[in-house]
Amino acid sequence: NAGVTQTPKFRVLKTGQSMTLLCAQDMNHEYMYWYRQDPGMGLRLIHYSVGEGTTAKGEVPDGYNVSRLKKQNFLLGLESAAPSQTSVYFCASSRQGVGTEAFFGQGTRLTVV
Amino acid sequence: AQSVTQPDIHITVSEGASLELRCNYSYGATPYLFWYVQSPGQGLQLLLKYFSGDTLVQGIKGFEAEFKRSQSSFNLRKPSVHWSDAAEYFCAVGDVVGYGGATNKLIFGTGTLLAVQP
């Protein structure tokens, strides 16, 4: 029972480099989310998806792009990394419906130097 | 705007002592409320949730929380803390946005870091 799996777990980037974070869930959930966690700020929503082929902006979408080509996968892209994007990134998924529980991956720690 | 406030950044309790973590929310309608726990280096795990009905909800690991509409609070409690409860605790409110009104976004508080003394 894998649940939500994030790849990679750690990454160091140089300013201006690009990368893609992969999130995969095996629970057949409709909704998927990308959050970033920064000290003293809790978790903030970057982008989310309510189903295959759909994406929407969250609270802090600038500098990020996402794609949901397959229901089980949700990709987060950084086209030109900046030091301000140093953070821990969490992916989550939930069933469609009001108030359903979100299941979280173990996080990706990204450092941009 | 919807928001969640956790006024205590860091709390230390002795093992066996009782615990209460505070959470206040600002939300226009009946809120969907959650408590999550994050152990070091791990993702978030749901402890409990409140949608409607009984205002005292039971969760996993012996935790409970009470919804008080008049105080806009959803405080987390445990009668006797164990060393393994040391972690960071997040309160969150579910926000209904766009797409058919389904709750599909969580607004998190800034977290309370719990330390447990032997």
Cβ of A39 under 8 Å from any chain B Cβ? no
Quick check: A33 and B46 CB within 8 A? no
Residue A4 has pLDDT above 60, yes or no: yes
The set of residues, in sequence order, having a beta carbon less than 8 Å from that of B98 and lying 6+ positions away, is A50, A56, B104
Tokens 């976004």, residue located: B105
What is the chain A residue with the closest CA to B9? A40
Residue A102 has pLDDT above 90, yes or no: no
Span A66-91, average pLDDT: 96
**Residue A97: which of B45, B102, B108 has the nearest Cβ?**
B102
Span A90-103, average pLDDT: 81
pLDDT of residue B103: 47
Quick check: B102 and A50 CB within 8 A? yes
Cβ of A7 under 8 Å from any chain B Cβ? no
CA distance A77 to chain B (A): 20
pLDDT of residue B110: 94
Question: Do A66 and B14 touch, CB atoms closer than 8 A?
Answer: no
Quick check: A33 and B108 CB within 8 A? no
Tokens 């919804």, residue located: B67
Quick check: A99 and B43 CB within 8 A? no
Q: What average pLDDT is seen over chain A?
A: 92
- Residue A41's nearest CA partner among B49, B40, B3 is B3
Residue A1 has pLDDT above 80, yes or no: no
What is the chain B residue with the closest CA to A95? B104
CA distance B89 to chain A (A): 10
Span A71-97, average pLDDT: 93
Question: Do A24 and A47 touch, CB atoms closer than 8 A?
Answer: no
pLDDT digits (tens, 9 = 90+) for B13-70: 999 999 999 999 998 777 889 999 999 888 899 999 998 888 999 999 999 999 999 9
Residue A89 has pLDDT above 50, yes or no: yes
What is the chain B residue with the closest CA to A31? B104
pLDDT of residue A64: 98
CA distance B14 to chain A (A): 24
pLDDT digits (tens, 9 = 90+) for A49-74: 989 999 999 889 999 999 999 999 99
